Amino acid sequence: MKKSTYILVLALLSSNFLDIRPFGDWLSMSNGLWGLVALYLWVAGGFLKFNRFGYPYLYTSKNIAPSFWILAGVFLSMIPALYFYGQPLLTSLVAYRVQYFWVTIPLLLYIRPTEEDLIKSLTIFSILFFLSALLRTYVSSNWFYYSESFAQYAERHPEDVICSAGYQLVLVPFYYYCGKVREYFSLKNAIIVVLFLAFFLIIQNRSVLFVAALIAMLSILKGGGIFRFFFVAIILGVLLYQTKDIWSALLEETTAQVNDTDYARFRSIQFFLNESKGSLAKTIFGNGLLSAHVSTRNMELSEMGVYNSDVGLIGYWNFYGIIPVIVIVYYLFKAVFAKRIPFSVRALGLHILLCSGTISYFGTYALILWFAFFYYLFVYYRDQNSQIYGASVGS
């Protein structure tokens, strides 16, 4: 099996791409046990199928260390869950099943896919997701949702469910093509960037769309020259004009929320930042991820209008403690300011960093895999360039 094929299947299994009839009831990553089993068996198969030896050799203790510390923090958060809320360790082990997916960091370092492998597989993934989004939006949601209630919700709130898990993976090839346009302009790559932006407009996720649109336009301006830039600007102008109602609605919604002092995100940030005051254990190790079978805490927070998913890394800190957050933020900053690292990797790190304060990152398989791809590419280039330019690369 080719590495690109393995990566493609890994991305599909980690997303909600299989939340479709007739598979959704049993293979869905949102609802199905067998989807979970298939995902982790596929991860295990990667360690068995591929050989970690070869150039570049990346499976080192230094490179694996971030996943070790993240998982260490995650497991330590089970102690407050037991001590403060009475959640048995066995229950925590089951409830934490998504967080074990951080093993994809050592997995990628083990199988050593090339940049070409990653971009090829994730470009195919993007095309499949793009077609899926079109079908879900403009053809029939009933074909793509595994329950009638979910299908009815999708008709009322399509932006919440269209490719709701996994579309961030599309940003990996998107920033790759932005980097190519920035380095050496070609009309083909510029059009690819515009097509990606069109996809982001369909899903209407502000955390993806606003940052991606800004970096894309700056990339085209940087690499295109004045005449090529205006040519692409005309294409972008037509796209923006045709979607002006979408942009207007998103900007209006954002403005209203920012100006609303009782906005759910502001309320959630204040609650989670204040909750752990006076408890050193909760500040360091978090509260733990509590199962609904053991605690009514999550239901009580929902009734208060407080949501962990609204506050990004602050919410992740509240669940799993400060250790994983420090590791994640450290490598994001390290990549953004690294020397001799491709623009695409720095842009990807910047995107995660800018949005991780308000978006629920790393609470799903696909989002963990997204960070794993980012971290792998950072290490891939850092280690290769350090052999050429010296140990200061990435410092």
- Reported pTM: 0.85
In a domain, 335, yes or no: yes
> Smallest Cα–Cα separation from 315: which of 354, 284, 360, 364?
360
> pLDDT confidence of 130, banded at 50, 70, 90?
confident
- Mean pLDDT across 55-81: 94
Number of domain units in the chain: 1
Residue whose pair of structure tokens reads 């109602």 in the numeric block: 245
Higher pLDDT: 133 or 115? It is 115
Give ∠ CA 65-71-77 in degrees, rounded to 5. 140
Query: Which range, 135-149, 299-313, 352-366, is most confident?
Result: 352-366
Structural tokens at position 116: 């070409």
Distance CA 329, CA 360 (A): 15
Structural tokens at position 226: 């004045």
- Mean pLDDT across 300-304: 71
In a domain, 39, yes or no: no
Residue-level pLDDT at 205 = 73
Q: Is the pLDDT of residue 344 over 50?
A: yes
Percent of the chain with pLDDT over 70: 69
In a domain, 326, yes or no: yes
Q: Is the pLDDT of residue 119 over 80?
A: yes
Residue whose pair of structure tokens reads 């050193």 in the numeric block: 280
For the ranges 95-109, 113-127, 281-295, the lowest mean pLDDT is seen at: 281-295
Q: What is the pLDDT of residues 167-189, one digit of tens each?
A: 789 999 999 999 998 888 787 88
Higher pLDDT: 242 or 306? It is 306
> pLDDT confidence of 199, banded at 50, 70, 90?
confident
In a domain, 226, yes or no: no
> pLDDT confidence of 371, banded at 50, 70, 90?
very high
Distance CA 74, CA 93 (A): 10
- Mean pLDDT across 287-297: 80
In a domain, 164, yes or no: no
Q: Which residues have a Cβ under 8 Å from the Cβ of 130 and sit 6 or more positions away?
A: 170, 199, 202
In a domain, 385, yes or no: yes
What range defines the domain where residue 362 resides? 56-112+261-395
Q: Is the pLDDT of residue 43 over 90?
A: yes
In a domain, 299, yes or no: yes
In a domain, 372, yes or no: yes
Higher pLDDT: 341 or 355? It is 341
Q: Is the pLDDT of residue 392 over 50?
A: no
Question: How many other CB atoms are found less than 10 A from the CB of residue 48?
Answer: 6
Residue-level pLDDT at 175 = 95
Q: What is the mean pLDDT of the chain?
A: 79
For the ranges 22-31, 307-316, 325-334, the lowest mean pLDDT is seen at: 22-31
